[in-house]
Structure 1
Amino acid sequence: MILVTGGAGFIGSNILAGLEARGFDDLVVVDRLRDGDKWRNIAKRALADIITPADLPAFLAAHQGEIAVIIHMGAISATTETDVDRIVANNVRLTLDLWSWCTRHGARFIYASSAATYGAGDEGFDDAFTPEALARLRPLNPYGWSKHMIDRRLCALVRSGAATPPQWAGLKFFNVYGPNEAHKGPMRSVVHQIHPFAREGKPFGLFKSYREGIPDGGQLRDFIWVDDVVDVVSWLVDTPTVSGLFNVGTGQARSFADLASAVYRALDQAPRLEYRDMPESLRPRYQYFTEARMDRLRQAGYPGSFTPLEEGVRRYVQDYLEKSDPFR
C-alpha cells in the first residue's frame, strides 16, 4: 500500500496518476475535499481508500504492516499564509509524526520540502544536507521556514545516528506547473492565471520589478513541468536504496516574461504583456531568482531528463487547459 497525503492536491494527485499508470493499485489518499471541484483531481483514479487527516492516526494503527511507502505532500503551501500556528500544526507536527511512525513500522518516507527554504537565494541553491549548510539559509516567509525547520530537524536526527525510516527523501520543489492546480486560487501557477487572457488575445499583467538591474518581467524562476516531478518521485519509489535531501527543478532559471510568452505562443497568439504594481506586503519577501543545483540528484543516480519550458507549457495548455475536461 502507498499512502499519499495531500493526494487530492496539485502535486499529490499527479503523483497518484503516475503511480497508477505504472501499475500500483493499492493507493490511499489523505486529504480534505471540501465543497469545490478539488475532488475532480482524483476522480479518474482507482483508489483503495480516501481518508481525512483527522482519521489518519486510526488508519495508520489499523494498517501498520501494510503500508510500504508514505508520500507526504500535504501541507499549508501558501507563501502568503500568516497563521503560523496553523502552519506548524500542518507542516511541522504532522511531518515529524509521520517520520516517527515510518521509523517505528519500517515504512519508507518521501516528503515535500520547498525551494522557499532558500529565501532570497543569497546562499545559493545547493541542497547540501549538513547542519552547517542548512543553518545558513534564511527563508522569507512562514511556509518556507516550516519546511526548513523539518529539513534541519531530520538532518540532526540522521547525523546523530538515530533510527530512521528504511528509505527517506526530502524533495525541494521549485516552481511546479501543470494540471490539477485550479483549486489553488491565487497560488496556482502563472501559466494557469495567464491562460484565459491569452486565449482571448488580451494583455496580462506581470509584477513590476523593484530591484535595480532586473527589468519588469525579468524575475527568474526554475519552472518545472509536473510530469518531471512525478518521474523523480516514481524513481525514488523504485529505488529504495536512495535517501537524502534533493532539489527538484530543471537547473535552468527562466524569466516570468519567457513563461508568459510561452503561454501565448502555445495558443498561436502574439505575447501581450503589461506590468502591474507588486503588493507592498510582498515586496520584502519576494524571490527574484531561483535555480536548482541538480548535482546531488544526479549523483544519486537519477537518469531522467527535464522538459524545456516551452514544451512543458505547450503540453499543459494544449493537452489540458484547452480541453473541456482539464483534469488529469
Structure 2
Amino acid sequence: MYLVTGGAGFIGSNLVAALAARGEEVMVVDRLGAEDKWRNLAKHTIAGLLPPEALWEFWAARPPVAAVLHMGAISATTETDGDLVAATNLTLPLQLWSACAERRVPFIYASSAATYGDGHEGFEDDASPAALAKLRPLNLYGWSKLAFDRRVAQLLARGAPRPPQWAGLRFFNVYGPNEHHKGRMASVLLHKYRQVMAGEAATLFRSDRPGIADGHQRRDFVHVDDCVAVMLWLLENPGASGLFNVGSGRARTFLDLVQAMFAAMGREPDIRFVEMPADLRGKYQYFTEAPLDRLRAAGFNAQTTPLEDGVRRTVQDFLGAEDPYR
C-alpha cells in the first residue's frame, strides 16, 4: 500500500491516478472540502481517504505501507499565517521523516523551486548544509520548504536515523489536469484558458524590470506527467536518494505558454498586459530553470515534455473536454 498525502490535490491526484492504473493500493490523506475536489479522485479505486488528523491513528495500526509520498502542503505563496504554514510544511514532514526512518519505509516529499528565491544563488539542487544556507526564498511558503530541506541536510550530516530511501523533489512551474480547485494558485495556463473561454483577453503581468519585455518573464514550465514519472521511477529504484530538481530543464516565456494555448484552442492570440498585484511585487520570480544533472546522474533518463506538446494535451484532452478531470 502507498500512502499519498495531499492525494486529492493537483500533483497528488495525478500520482494517485498513475498508481491506481498499475493496480496498486493507495491510501489518500487529504480533505475534500465542499467544492469539487473529490472529482480529482472520482475515476480511480483507492484504499481509503483519511483526514490529516486521522493519519497517526492509522499509522499506529502498522499498515503495510510500501512508501510514503508526501505531497500535502499549504502551497499558497501568498499565505501569511506563519504558525499554520510551519505546522503543515515543517512540523508534519519532520514527523513523517522520523516515522519512516523508524519503520524503514521510503519517504518521497515535495520540495519546491520557491526555495531558490529570485535565483541569485542559482538553481542547483545541492543538498549540502552550506549550499542550502545561501538560499533566500521570497515568501513564507518558500521558506517553509527550505526549512525542511535544511533540517533533512542537518540530520543526514549528523548520521541520524533516516528512511531507507528519501527524495526531496523541487517541483518547478507545474501545469496539467486536476487543478480546478486551486483558485489563485492554479497554473497560469488554467487561468488564461478560463479568461479566454469567458470571452476575455488573456492577461499577463507587465514587466517592472529593465531589460525584460512584457510577457518575457521566463519560467521552467513542467507537465505534471513528468513529475509523476520521476516519482514512479524513484519507487522502482530504491537505491536513488537525494534532493532533485523536477522541471523541463528549459526556461520559456509566459508569452510562449499563452501562444501555445491559443494554438491548441485553434484561436488567434488575444493578449493584454496588466500591472502586477501589489502583494506580488518584490516576491515574483522572473526566471527559473531546473538543472537536471543530479536526476540524470541518479539514472532517470526519460525525456521531458516539450511545452507546446504539454499545453496541447492539457487543453485538448482535459480543459476542453466535457469531463476535464483525469
> Quick check: TM above 0.5?
yes
- Alignment-mate amino acid for residue 57 of structure 2: A
1:157 is matched with which residue: 155, 161, 171? 155
Q: In structure 1, how many angstroms separate the alpha carbons of the residues matched to 2:201 and 2:150? A: 43
Counterpart position of 2:165: 167
Q: In the TM superposition, what are the counterparts of 1:48-127 in structure 2 within 5 Å?
A: 48-64=47-63, 66-127=64-125
Which letter maps to 1:128?
Answer: D
| Per-residue deviation, 1:20 | 1.6
Contact 1:249 1:292 in 2 (8 A): yes
Distance (Å, rounded) in 2 between the aligned partners of 1:304 and 1:162: 33
**Aligned pairs for 1:173-184 within 5 A:** 173-184=171-182
1:229 is matched with: 227
Offset of residue 322 of structure 1: 0.7
The SS at the match of 1:14 is helix
Q: Please give the per-residue CA displacement for 1:251-287, whole angstroms capped at 9, x wherever unaligned.
A: 1000011101111110111111110010122111111
Secondary structure, in 3 states, of the residue corresponding to 2:69?
Answer: strand
Do residues 27 (structure 1) and 26 (structure 2) align?
Answer: yes
Please tell me the root mean square deviation across aligned C-alpha atoms, in Å. Answer: 1.0
1:262 pairs, out of 260, 276, 293, with 260
Partner of 2:45: 46
1:207 Cα deviation from its structure 2 partner: 0.6
User: What does residue 191 of structure 2 align with?
Assistant: 193
Q: 1:286 and 2:284 equivalent?
A: yes
Aligned to 1:9: 9
Structure 2 counterpart of 1:322, from 320, 323, 326: 320
Counterpart Cα distance in 1 of 2:221 and 2:91: 29
In 2, Cα distance between the equivalents of 1:76 and 1:197?
A: 26
Cα offsets for 1:4-54 (capped at 9, x unmatched): 000000000000111122231x11000000100000000111111110000
Distance in 2 of aligned mates of 1:201 and 1:32: 33
* Superposition deviation, residue 201 in structure 1: 6.2
**TM-score, normalised via structure 2 length:** 0.98
Give the TM-score of the pair, scaled to structure 1.
0.98
- Alpha-carbon distance between aligned partners in 2 of 1:197 and 1:31, rounded to the nearest angstrom: 29
Determine helix, strand or coil for the equivalent of 1:164.
coil
For residues 235 and 290 of structure 2, what CA distance do their matches in structure 1 show? 22
**Is the 2:20–2:46 Cα contact (8 Å) retained in structure 1?**
no
Residues in 2 aligned to 1:113 and 1:54: alpha-carbon distance in whole angstroms: 22
Picking from 143, 146, 149, the partner of 1:145 is 143
Q: What is the identity percentage for the equivalent residue pairs of Structure 1 and Structure 2?
A: 57
Cα shift at 1:308: 0.3
The number of residues matched between the two structures is 326
Distance 1:200 1:120 in 2: 33
What residue ranges of structure 2 are gaps of 5+ in the alignment? none
Amino acid at match of 1:110: I
Deviation of the 1:309 alpha carbon: 0.3
Q: Secondary structure at the match of 2:132?
A: helix
Deviations 1:146-180 (A, max 9, x none): 00000010011111111100000000000000110
Tell me the residue number matched to 1:276: 274
Q: In the TM superposition, what is the alpha-carbon distance from 1:63 to its structure 2 partner?
A: 2.7
For residues 73 and 161 of structure 2, what CA distance do their matches in structure 1 show?
25
CA 1:146–1:221 in 2, change beyond 3 Å: closer, same or farther? same
Taking the aligned partners of 1:263 and 1:188, their CA distance within structure 2 comes to: 15
For 1:170 and 1:45, the matched residues in 2 are separated by 26
Distance in 2 of aligned mates of 1:49 and 1:141:
34
